[in-house]
Amino acid sequence: MNDKQSVIVIGGGIAGLTAGFKLKKAGWDVKVLEANSQIGGPIQTVLSEGFLAELGPNTILETSPKVTQLVTEVGLDDQKIYADATSSKRFLVRDKRPHALPSSPGGILTTPLFSTKAKFVMVKELFTSSWDNRYEESLAQFVVRRLGPEFLAYAINPFVAGVYAGAPEHLSVKHGFPKLYELEQKYGGLIKGQIKGARERKKRQEKSKQAARMFSFKGGLKMLPETIASRLGKSVQKNSRVTDISQTGEKWQVTYTDQVGATGQITSDHVVYAGTAFGLPNLKVNDLPEANFAMFDDIYHPPVSSLTLGFRREDVSHPLDGFGMLIPEVEGFDILGALFTSTLFPMRAPQDHVTLTVFIGGVRQPQLAGKPQDELIEMALHDLKVTLGVSGKPVFSNHQFWPRAIPQYDVGYGKYKEMLDSLETRYPGLHFTGNYRNGISVADTIKNATELSEKLLGIESIPVE
pLDDT over 80 (residue 226):
yes
Segment 337-387, tens digit of pLDDT: 999 999 999 999 999 999 999 999 999 999 999 999 999 999 999 999 999
Cα separation, 211 vs 389, in Å, equals: 30
Are 73 and 370 in contact, with CB atoms under 8 Å apart?
no
Please give the CATH number for the structural domain made up of 302-402.
3.90.660.20
Q: Which residues contact 342 (CB under 8 A, 6 or more apart)?
A: 320, 348, 349, 353, 354, 355, 356
> Would you state the pLDDT for residue 326?
97
Segment 440-460, tens digit of pLDDT: 999 999 999 999 999 999 876
Paired with 98 in beta bridges are 93
Q: φ, ψ for residue 244 (rounded to 5)?
A: -140, 145
For the four alpha carbons of 445, 448, 452 and 458, in that order, the dihedral sign comes to positive
- Would you tell me how many other CB atoms lie within 10 Å of the CB of residue 99? 17
Segment 404-452, tens digit of pLDDT: 999 999 999 999 999 999 999 999 999 999 999 999 999 999 999 999 9
Q: Which residues of 112-145 are buried (b: 16+ CB within 10 A; e: fewer)?
A: ebbeeebbebbeebeebeebeeeebbbbbbbbbe
Q: Which residues contact 426 (CB under 8 A, 6 or more apart)?
A: 290
Indicate the domain borders of the chain. Answer: 6-43+64-76+218-299+409-457, 114-203, 302-402
> Would you state the pLDDT for residue 209?
56
Give 282-310 as a 3 state SS string: HCEECCCHHHCCHHHHHCCCCCEEEEEEE
Are 144 and 311 in contact, with CB atoms under 8 Å apart?
no
- pLDDT band of 462, cuts 50, 70, 90: very low
Q: Considering the chain, what is the average pLDDT of its residues?
A: 90
Segment 275-321, tens digit of pLDDT: 999 999 988 888 777 777 899 999 999 999 999 999 999 999 999 99
Domain 6-43+64-76+218-299+409-457 - what CATH class? alpha beta
The two beta strands, 324-326 and 90-94, are parallel
Distance between terminal CA atoms of the chain?
A: 35
Cα separation, 91 vs 324, in Å, equals: 6
Segment 52-92, tens digit of pLDDT: 999 999 999 999 999 999 999 999 999 999 999 988 899 99
How large is the average pLDDT for residues 206-216?
A: 74
Q: Which residues contact 366 (CB under 8 A, 6 or more apart)?
A: 302, 303
> Would you state the pLDDT for residue 425?
92
Are 443 and 224 in contact, with CB atoms under 8 Å apart?
no
Angle between helices 178-187 and 190-203 (to 10 degrees): 100
Segment 313-325, tens digit of pLDDT: 999 999 999 999 9
Give pTM, 2 decimals. Answer: 0.91
Nearest to 10 by CA among 249, 274, 203, 222: 274
> Would you state the pLDDT for residue 104?
66
Domain 114-203 - what CATH class? mainly alpha
Are 161 and 326 in contact, with CB atoms under 8 Å apart?
yes
The two beta strands, 324-326 and 263-268, are unpaired
The vertex-170 CA angle with 380 and 435, nearest 5°, equals 80
Nearest to 396 by CA among 348, 465, 461, 333: 348
Segment 109-163, tens digit of pLDDT: 778 888 878 777 777 666 667 777 788 999 999 999 888 999 999 999 999 999 9
- pLDDT band of 180, cuts 50, 70, 90: confident
pLDDT over 80 (residue 195):
no
Nearest to 59 by CA among 316, 357, 388, 407: 357
